[in-house]
Structure 1
Amino acid sequence: MISNHIFQTSFEDLPTEIFLEIFAFLPLRELVKAFSGLNSYIDLIIESMTDIKHVVTYNDVNAIILLQLRPTQIGHLVIVHAEKVDFTSLINLRSLKLNFGTCAQFDSIRPKYFPILEILHIYDMLCSSSKDNSRPIIDLLEVILSNGFPQLRVCTAIRIGTLSFSKRWKGSPSLHSLCLGMKTEHDQEQLRSACPNLRRFVNGRRSSIDLPKGDEEWKTTTSLMTLIEATIRIIDNPSDNHYFIHPERAVEYRNNRQTYYKKALNSMLIYGRPRY
């Protein structure tokens, strides 16, 4: 006899693993806004997460409050022009991007606060003088390039000036990708020797890696395809060719898209998958 009962499955009946997969794509603000407070089961799942993405721009009060309320849950952080942010309580931070940080913020990037940091991107500084600029950078690089962050594999330091190799840099075997402005070829070779496992090195002295400011397509995103599509649109737009570090790549792209895709994706895999 066929039963007339219809079994309905509700949203809450999904296994925890599915929720974690879904929530992993959402930044903290969207996660809290969309799902927090629905019921105790989902709240417990959110509370258990320790690898959430978060963005703070221009001293956004709500974003700062969220950071303060959930410090141990943030694994990936982007800070842009937000000098009021203290992020030293984020002990589970694995990825940090700091754009226009203060001297105090640069001084706070230390292993005692971020023992499992894997990816670090720093751009520009908000300091009152060039003398103020140099000290935090020199101190931070000494920590980075002396294996202070034993899990750090990707480091980018752009628009912070050019540097000579320091004998105080003891080496960092964990680094796989590094962008840093070195003054001479000899300095660069010494740096490579100190970091024997480098797969990718970009000398910031010779390459301008600035992204077009104000372009909506370059906002932070969790979608790899969005990044690729935005890159392709810029390549295909002749009026924007001045953004390219190497104009010959545009020619290579037009002549052989498949080769370009493979090189671009291989570079991304080495450099680090987009996480914000």
Structure 2
Amino acid sequence: VKGVEEIFSFILENNLYSLDAQISAFIHPHISPSNSESSGVVISSYDMERKYALVEAIYGCAEGVQSLPHDRFLVDKKEKKIVRRDVREKRKCVVVRESGYVTSEVPLALRERQALKDDEILSMVEQAMKFEEEFGPFELEFSYMGGRLFYIQGVPYKPEKKEEDVLSEFVLKATSTKHVRSVVGRVIRVKGMEDVRRIGEGDIVFVDPKVILERKMDVVLAIARLSGNRVVLYPGTESATHSLLALKEAGHTIVFLPGMQEFEDGEMLAIRSVVEIKRVK
């Protein structure tokens, strides 16, 4: 009950509603990393041509996809086959304890395995395609529990990437929500509200992974409210729906980092297009 109260209080305090919106909250079980069950997201159409679907998966609950190394699969919907795959070593996952979301060690035997089998990926994409026929492109969050697939939530998804850009994402490089001009600036590593207040003109914002894992939405919203078009280095992928919506709608440029790369407070960075990010003195 306390958790539901916090959800509604946060929505109302931050004006995240409209007069005709229907607000609801629900509680669902989460998965222990002690078995091979998985969670993640499936995007029914990841490119503007609606040729490819994207599946991202990790052990534990789907919160881990937002900021921990995880698997990514690009599926050709017409050919019904996986055309790109990026299977990472998954040392940690996110689980739920009485204290909230916490990171936990993944058993050694599971770390380098795919979090989903190929037939599970293709079956899920087929279901997502049927969903899209009815409602349009969607991002669906899922969990496997007891060998059964559950869809936890869904949000509309607007494909904005060309086919060649989608395919090139599976080469290890940074990607972005929009074109990044050449930028040289100081990194402000944001862990809390006090760090947001230190951000000056020309600074490059790096969102600490714990901000995402611990769901510090007040910090994310504070970054979103910064004036101007800020460059925000994001330690995760575009499937991190809740955090990214606020940043996207504010018009900031979000750079998704390859390999969950991290930067320290005060470092100087040179960003030359979304392909190259270099530390400079």
TM-score range, shorter chain: under 0.3
User: Greater RCO between the two (CA within 8 Å, min separation 6)?
Assistant: 2
Q: Which has the larger radius of gyration?
A: 1
* Higher strand content, 1 or 2: 2
- Normalised to the residue count of structure 2, the TM-score between the two structures is 0.27
- Normalised to the residue count of structure 1, the TM-score between the two structures is 0.27
* Higher helix content, 1 or 2: 1
